A and B are shown apart, each in its own frame.
Chain A
Amino acid sequence: MPIPTLAEKLQWLKPAPATAHETECAAKVLQGDYEIGVQITNDILDEAMEVFVRSSRSYFGVSGDSMVAIFTANGDLINASCGTYLHAIIQPIIIKFIHKYYTENPGIRDGDIWYTNDALYGGIHNPDQVALMPIFHKGKLLAWSSAALHTTETGAIEPGGMPVSAKSRFEEGLNLPPIKIGENFEIRNDFLEMYSVYGMRAPAMFISDLRARCTTADRVRVRLLELADKRGPDFVVGLLRKMSDTAEAAARRIVRDLPDGKFRTVVFNDAIGMTPALVRSCYLTLTKKDGGIIFDFHGTSPENPSSYNVHPQAVVGHIANFMYEYMFHDLPICSSTFAMLDFVFPEGSIVYPDKMAATSCCVYIGMQARCATQNSFAKMIFSNAALWGQVAASPGSQHTSQICAGLSQWKLAVSDVLSFALNTMGQGGRAASDGMDAYGFAWCAFGRAPDSEQVESELPVTVTLSQHWKDSSGPGLHRGGSGGVQHWMVHKVPHLVSMCMGNGSKVPLGQPLFGGYASSPIPGISIRKADLLQQMSEGNPQLTLDNREVLGQKTIHGDWNFEFVARTPKMYDEGDLLFGFSGGGPGYGDPLERPPEEVLEDLRKQIISDWTAQNIYKLAYEPERRKLDVEKTKQLRDEERRARLARGKSFEEFHKEWNKKKPPEEILQWYGSWPDGKPLGPIVRS
């Protein structure tokens, strides 16, 4: 079975050298024609992205958690429209695999539709599925197109596509290596039937998303052929080559101008599946030397028998999210921009697990690699005159990924995510400003929170509140952006099955930057037998729909549950309430340097509480009128600085006590050896 090796995958990430024909064609693309050609590819991709969002059925699709792309004939990525950068860079692995193994049998022909969702063959995790089409012009392969989207169902042992209790890939439902699912521009009926049985929990969503991918990839194909007909195929070949070369030159210039050295970040995760456990989810050493950067993950904890492992190329996908949001934000999404980046993954680690490992919840580990990357880059680029403004703490990434499954109020089978809590995370504090409140999804910079009324009309829930979550952001000179909170009441159906994926209930995720603080952990909260519906129908004038008051005063009565955020499927009854949180961004800089007026503004906007203003920012003010006492604030801050000097210890003194400490043994079962995270024994998967 030709599962690609890590060496093959890493090699396939690199752009192929130009052929003589490509070089010849590129030389003929004149200035002016080139710029117009680039814009045409942008327009093709943006049009296709619009088709994609409008054709998708799942809330990931509606939110735009997707990517449409154009590749060269040999499979190098040239440009894309997002959505999410998660799929950028790594999809060439799939096309190059098809070229290597399937050119003769079953063959690559005009009208083919290829499909895959298996992370062993180059994907992220199996909810992320991609349709690819070769683009033939007059019988000759000219390029490829693709459309990738996360669908919230895979026929796994739990609804929602990301089973938190899966122990091996065999419990994760559909895992398709690259396969030809259509010929002559038609999806094969036998494949559709096979595919649909994996989507029984939500057939309308499952099949609609499949068709959306295919029709989107085909739209790109049709438009690129129009360009080839108009300007000739050699123009398209030359344009794609020139775009690759131009993007590579720009990326190399950015990397070249960074200082050489080593930059390290360590981050931790508090879960493997639904089991609370401490793991060193990423120990990253970035080595910048001359014109290249090596990402070395030695020191990361070993793989574990849960779905919280991540295959290496999916780590690269997560890193692409950071690179294109901050470092390469003005470059096309193109394979060649990663030509100078190399990756070292220790075999048997949580970022390079065995082929039988479950990885459907890989995003919780992959995101930690992105956070470590962002933190390390901050320390590498702050000295750079052109780039320091791109420095930011990593985004908030803890969230309630709540799945609704069962029959909707329309008696339709559903299995989808309540994605508000995904797409309203806070951005990390930035070098020159605060992080943006509810900026988006850490995995998908351009994800949009869905319209609540649309959610209510399609899923059996009523959204009873949507607001910023007070004190969710990490404090700092530049605070992190606020996260969001929604409450979901089961409504119009007698029962609903719900589960939740996630992490970050015990340990804040990511690291803050330059003296800031991280954002708060999140629990999993539900109220069974809640009396909210009753209070609303009785018109209770005391009823509050402020999240903090509901939490603090328990104004909604019922059986409250505070659990770990990752939860296996449970039945909830009509009127039961679920809480959904998106994490705030970590803070940047010393909170004592935050201008007092900005702290007051945070209070006015209800982004922070009085407790935070007084105890973290050391702000003195009159609480009723929120009138600032400048002198007293200065005095309080000076006192805190003196307190720091009194309690701070020298490096040597600190370590006399620190080195005696260790977390409890019971949470270190899957950490590896303490503290260096080396494997302690084999993982047995049945």
Chain B
Amino acid sequence: MSSETPNRIRITEYLDLDIDREQWMCNRCNHVLGSARENYKKGCLLHDRDPREVHPALVAATFNFSPDPSWVRIVECYCPRCATQIETEYLPPGHPITHDIEIDIDRLKERLRKGQFIIRGQRLEAVE
């Protein structure tokens, strides 16, 4: 687990934002995943997983409780240092990876500077 730092905000279970350095970081091992103005997945290791390895067929039939691997794949995103599975996405083969989180860094900094937010326990607290 990462240590408590005043400039770190938890954005997901495994993804921290270092607001001063504008960097994505792994919450579990502090590995820097890249610029927070970019897709954090660019800093991950990615794997194209056959969904049948996770959801195996329960019966011998065409429709068998298992996803069809020609329809959908599991894209697994790992931290390159600690191998935590940071995110998974079920996508048709070849479908673009989603840029799922684009925090407005400038606006967040501004709101912190104006005292609208404070960071406590790595989370944003609104100040009335």
Contacts and interface: CB of A to CB of B under 8 A. Distances in A.
Nearest to A643: B83
Nearest to A554: B59
Contact of A649 (B46, B94, B101): B46
Interface in B51-80: 51, 54-56, 58-59, 61-68, 70-72, 74, 76-78, 80
A280 to B, nearest CB: 8
A293 to B, nearest CB: 13
Interface of A: 256-257, 259-266, 268, 270, 278, 289, 376, 378-379, 382-386, 388, 431, 471, 475, 477, 505-508, 511-518, 520-524, 548, 551-552, 560, 562-565, 588-593, 611, 616, 641-642, 644-645, 647-651, 654, 657-664, 667, 675
25 contacts: A264-B98, A264-B99, A278-B92, A289-B104, A379-B12, A382-B13, A383-B11, A506-B71, A513-B13, A515-B86, A515-B87, A516-B88, A517-B74, A520-B55, A551-B58, A562-B61, A562-B62, A563-B63, A592-B84, A611-B56, A649-B46, A660-B94, A662-B93, A663-B93, A675-B92
Given A589-B13, A590-B84, A661-B93, A654 B54 contact: no
Contacts of B100: 263-265, 376, 379
Contact of A514 (B13, B56, B78, B91): B13
Contacts of B93: 658, 661-663
Given A265-B98, A517-B88, 8 more contacts: A263-B102, A266-B98, A376-B100, A379-B11, A520-B66, A523-B61, A562-B59, A654-B48
A75 B42 CA distance: 49
Interface in B5-60: 9-14, 17, 41-48, 51, 54-56, 58-59
B70 A382 contact: no
A648 B46 contact: yes
Contacts of B70: 663-664, 667
A515 B13 contact: yes
A589 B15 CA distance: 11
Contacts of A385: 120-121, 123-126
B9 A383 contact: yes
B95 A675 contact: yes
A518 B73 CA distance: 11
B65 A663 contact: no
A260 B106 CA distance: 9
A644 B12 contact: no
A560 B78 CA distance: 41
Contacts of B88: 511-512, 515-517
Contacts of A514: 12-14, 86-87
A507 B67 contact: yes
Contacts of B98: 264-266
A651 B13 contact: no
Interface in B81-116: 82-104, 107-108
Nearest to B41: A651
B80 to A, nearest CB: 7
B63 to A, nearest CB: 3
A518 B71 CA distance: 15
A644 B41 CA distance: 15
Contact of A268 (B46, B63, B80, B92): B92
Contacts of A518: 55, 90
A521 B46 contact: no
Contact of A590 (B14, B48, B99): B14
Nearest to A375: B100
A386 B45 contact: no
B29 to A, nearest CB: 11
A511 B125 CA distance: 28
Nearest to B49: A647
Most buried by B among A259, A523, A659: A259
B78 A648 contact: yes
B14 A384 contact: no
A428 to B, nearest CB: 13
Given A262-B102, A645-B80, A663 B11 contact: no
Contacts of B65: 520-523
Nearest to A637: B83
Contacts of B101: 261, 263, 379
